[in-house]
Amino acid sequence: MENRIENMEKAAPVPLQQEQGAIRGSEPARAANLGRFREAALAAVFIAPALLLFGIFLFYPLVQSVYLSLHSTNPRGQVANFVGLTNFRNLFNSPGFPNSLIVTLKFILLTVPASLALALAFAAVCRSRIRGMRIFRFVFALPIAVSVSTGSIMWMILFHPTLGTLNYFLGKIGLAPVQWLTDPNMALLSISLMTVWMNIGFLFILLLGGMQGIPEEIYESAKIDGSGPLRTFWRLTLPLVSPTLFFASVTSVIGAFQAFGQINILTKGGPVNSTNVLVFKLYEDAFVNFRFGVGSAQALVLFAIVLLITVLQFVFAERKVHYQ
């Protein structure tokens, strides 16, 4: 009996020691959890202003657009009745919306490929370290410093039918003057010409930065192997700059869908709706005719179209992108 009691007394402190060890072992875990919580709290503090701005200028307008697209509005622009999907049905049944969609697609085809091709050519030329090349870099990048309104006024003077510089030079070479902004067959082309000039500055800087990131040793090796300038550009430069070119193409398409300022200043959608792109039609319906329900429906359809085209670009075009 005494031996049994002694054995129990000797065994009693063991659980206490294990408990103390468990407590000591949990202290680093608690400290690590506390550190992670502090990091998360600090990150939330820094992210909060950006989330607030996104909530005010992005998420709330998106929710409001969904709400207004399901309602009709009175001539004052106030919400009148819930109409469900009627605004969307009326939108697709109206003749103006398909025309605006076609005009927008034409505008994209006229501006995006030309802007990318010219910016890529200028960047390839200015990549060389020839003396005086900085002047050309400055000239090619200059349009990025010009606002849309200022650029539109400049090109309005150039496009003037009687006093414009373009028609002046056409007259010097014996050609008839062109009605750049009043001819339905020329208006969209004129707007596209001005837009290409506006886009070149940003795309040139972007692509030139991508080309300058290519190591010079690669070009030296290609030169030693006897590769010419065109072959080097096609086989070497273009694949290595393809990630930058892909990003430029995606942003250019999105920007073309959002074109508004130059059209509003130069043609206001005319003549005969030849430049009435989706964003300008949305502006007219919502902020001129105060049909906020129809305008919100157009905004959501435009968002869906841009999202679909962007996804298609990532699915099909990204396959040819060469990531280092």
CA dihedral 5, 10, 14, 15 (to 10 degrees): 20
CB-CB contact of 145 with 201 (8 Å): yes
pLDDT score at 136 = 85
In the chain, where are the structural domains located? 14-69, 91-320
pLDDT score at 26 = 64
Q: How far apart are CA 201 and CA 148, in angstroms?
A: 13
pLDDT score at 16 = 45
pLDDT score at 290 = 86
CA distances from 304 to 111, 232, 318 (A): 21, 40, 20
Q: Is the confidence at residue 114, as pLDDT, over 90?
A: yes
- What is the Cα 231 distance to its own chain's centre? 31
Q: How far apart are CA 307 and CA 122, in angstroms?
A: 30
- H-helix segments, 213-277: 216-224, 229-232, 238-240, 242-257, 261-266
The rounded mean pLDDT for the chain is 86
Phi, psi of 31, rounded to the nearest 5 degrees? -65, -40
Burial of residue 37 (CB within 10 Å: 0-12, 13-18, 19+) is: exposed
Chain position carrying tokens 């339905």: 184
- What is the Cα 52 distance to its own chain's centre? 21
Q: What is the pTM of this model?
A: 0.83
Q: Is the confidence at residue 13, as pLDDT, over 70?
A: no
Interval 170-181 mean pLDDT: 91
Q: 194-218 burial by CB neighbour count: b if 16+ within 10 A, else e?
A: bbbbbbbbbbbbbbbebbeeeeeee
Q: How far apart are CA 237 and CA 273, in angstroms?
A: 42
Phi, psi of 71, rounded to the nearest 5 degrees? -130, 155
Q: How far apart are CA 156 and CA 227, in angstroms?
A: 46
Tokens of 79: 């919400």
Interval 151-169 mean pLDDT: 91
pLDDT tens digits for range 128-151:
777 778 888 888 888 998 999 999
Helix axes 165-172, 148-158, angle to 10 degrees: 30
CA distances from 88 to 63, 111, 114, 127, 303 (A): 16, 29, 34, 49, 14
pLDDT tens digits for range 228-281:
878 888 888 888 899 999 999 999 999 999 999 999 999 999 899 999 999 999
Q: Higher confidence at residue 214 or residue 16?
A: 214
From the list 236, 243, 239, 245, the residue with the least C-alpha distance to 218 is 236
Interval 274-291 mean pLDDT: 91
DSSP 182: T
Domain 91-320 adopts which CATH fold? MetI-like fold (1.10.3720)
CB-CB contact of 281 with 100 (8 Å): yes
